């Protein structure tokens, strides 16, 4: 293999990219990374360095990536987004511990001689700045979070917005919604679905009690509480409906999960709610749903599960906010949305949306088939790979 020259790639050899992520867990951004790496072309040579071990390592290797782990202090790797702002002084003190890590990381990055350092989480974005500079590689930030005060602590969002115009050479975002929270120029690369996620045999028409499902981490930002509250209104109209909640609490949301269960009991809907737990591949779960609900009360940066439901022809009811509005947007020829949009945080609107889908399964199935066609065109992982590879090529060109 040709050796890399820091500061710019050589024509004719693949662009060398080093991806940095702080976590080895399978969050949304990490699943998007796996699907991207699965379909990259030979014009890029990608390696991944994670700051902690976890199930992501084997998923990335299965996608053909070379992966290594350089462990960061476990405390820092697991700090949640909201805790980032809260901790204040204690956080500052612990920041001192990042100095030796940054030094180790810089040495490793320099030894790997990448043309591009591509960071895929807020922590990796920040921790990648010095190593990329030391290695004279172009820094690309891949932002999967809305950098807004309803999503991040205000001082963190402000600092991040400022840094985004100063440090990375290119910024990739997962939606227009995320782009609109940043002050500078960015490139939208919608996270893509993998070819094997698509349902190709058509959905059988339902002839049993309706299943209202939701897939996602159990967290206040995903809206399981709103779903359980809406269940009351839906059951008044469709008494045989069941509600299937797929996912597990993470990032300290255990208390929230208990609150949701208590609310289901209080409203007398507990026996109609099934807690299915975490599944690695939600396709089989989605196939059993008559409607897939995305109930985030705060704007979701993108919302991959909505696309996953669409490519399996499952009717979608989702809150009108963030990236989900782009996902469900109609086409110029037929601008009607591809799913039922309801108002964020509004339990009655959610119940009405779900009931409307259950009341007319034929119409819902027609719309879901149209949604599947549009999603297959708009959100294929190969398309994401083209956009991101082009950003890498641009970033790797020698600075003029
Ligand atoms: C993050 C965002 C989510 C998005 C995913 C992939 O997990 O919270 O909205 O779908 O990244 O970009």
Q: What's the 267 CA to ligand 1 centre distance in angstroms?
A: 31
> Read out DSSP for 207-275?
-SS-EEEEES-BSTTTTHHHHHHHHHHHHHH-TT-EEEEE--B-TT-HHHHHHHHHHHHHTT-GGGEEE
29 touches ligand 1 (CB under 6 Å): yes
Return the pLDDT at 6. Answer: 47
Q: What is the pTM of this model?
A: 0.91
Return the pLDDT at 12. Answer: 77
**Ligand 1: which of 304, 307, 327 to mutate, judged by most atoms within 8 Å of the beta carbon?**
304
Ligand 1 nearest atom to the CA of residue 27, by list position: 7
- Strand 116-119: give its sheet, edge to edge: 66-69, 44-50, 15-21, 116-119, 138-143, 170-173, 187-188
174 touches ligand 1 (CB under 6 Å): yes
**Ligand 1: which of 23, 25, 29, 251 to mutate, judged by most atoms within 8 Å of the beta carbon?**
29
190 touches ligand 1 (CB under 6 Å): no
Q: What's the 5 CA to ligand 1 centre distance in angstroms?
A: 34
Question: pLDDT tens, 189-238?
Answer: 999 999 999 988 877 776 689 999 999 999 999 999 999 999 999 999 99
**Ligand 1: which of 301, 309, 325 to mutate, judged by most atoms within 8 Å of the beta carbon?**
301
- Between 17 and 93, where is the model more confident? 17
Return the pLDDT at 138. Answer: 98
301 touches ligand 1 (CB under 6 Å): yes
**Has residue 91 got a pLDDT over 70?**
no
Domains of the chain plus CATH, in order, are: 15-192+380-396 (3.40.50.2000), 197-378 (3.40.50.2000)
For the chain, the average pLDDT equals 92
322 touches ligand 1 (CB under 6 Å): no
384 touches ligand 1 (CB under 6 Å): no
Look at the alpha carbons of 363, 366, 369, 373 in this order and tell me if their dihedral is positive or negative.
Answer: negative
Quick one: which of 326, 302, 297 has its CA closest to 219? 297
Question: pLDDT tens, 269-301?
Answer: 999 999 999 998 899 999 999 999 999 999 999
Ligand 1 nearest atom to the CA of residue 304, by list position: 10
For residue 252, name the pLDDT band (cuts at 50, 70, 90). confident
Q: What's the 312 CA to ligand 1 centre distance in angstroms?
A: 19
Look at the alpha carbons of 370, 372, 373, 377 in this order and tell me if their dihedral is positive or negative.
Answer: positive
């Amino acid at each position: 293999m040709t050796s890399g020259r820091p500061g710019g790639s050589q024509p004719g050899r693949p662009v060398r990219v080093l991806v940095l992520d702080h976590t080895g867990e399978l969050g949304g951004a990490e699943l998007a990374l796996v699907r991207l790496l699965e379909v990259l072309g030979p014009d890029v040579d990608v390696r991944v360095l994670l700051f902690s071990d976890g199930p992501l390592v084997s998923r990335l290797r299965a996608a053909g990536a070379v992966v290594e782990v350089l462990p960061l202090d476990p405390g820092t790797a697991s700090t949640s987004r909201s805790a980032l702002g809260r901790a204040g002084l204690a956080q500052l003190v612990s920041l001192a511990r990042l100095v030796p890590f940054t030094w180790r990381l810089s040495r490793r990055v320099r030894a790997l001689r990448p043309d591009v350092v591509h960071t895929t989480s807020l922590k990796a974005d920040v921790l990648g700045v010095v190593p990329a500079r030391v290695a004279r590689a172009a820094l690309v930030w891949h932002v999967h979070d809305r950098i807004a005060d309803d999503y991040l602590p205000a001082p963190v969002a402000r600092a991040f917005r400022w840094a985004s115009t100063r440090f990375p050479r290119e910024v990739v975002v997962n939606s227009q919604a995320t782009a609109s929270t940043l002050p500078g120029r960015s490139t939208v690369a919608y996270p893509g679905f993998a070819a094997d996620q698509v349902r190709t045999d058509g959905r059988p028409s339902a002839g049993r009690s309706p299943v209202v499902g939701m897939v996602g981490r159990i967290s206040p930002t995903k809206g399981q509480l709103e779903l359980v509250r809406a269940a009351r209104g839906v059951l008044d109209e469709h008494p045989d409906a069941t509600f299937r909640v797929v996912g597990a609490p993470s990032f300290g949301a255990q208390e929230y999960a208990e609150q949701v269960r208590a609310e289901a009991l209080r409203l007398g809907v507990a026996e109609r709610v099934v807690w299915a737990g975490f599944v690695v591949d939600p396709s089989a779960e989605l196939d059993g749903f008559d409607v897939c609900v995305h109930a985030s009360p705060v704007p979701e940066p993108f919302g991959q599960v909505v696309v996953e439901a669409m490519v399996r022809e499952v009717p979608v009811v989702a809150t009108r906010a963030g990236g989900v509005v782009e996902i469900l947007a109609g086409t110029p020829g037929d601008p009607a949305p591809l799913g039922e949009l309801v108002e964020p945080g509004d339990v009655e609107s959610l119940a009405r949306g779900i009931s409307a889908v259950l009341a007319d399964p034929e119409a819902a199935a027609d719309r879901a088939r149209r949604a599947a066609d549009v999603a297959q065109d708009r959100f294929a992982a190969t398309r994401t790979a083209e956009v991101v590879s082009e950003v890498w090529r641009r970033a790797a060109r020698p600075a003029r």
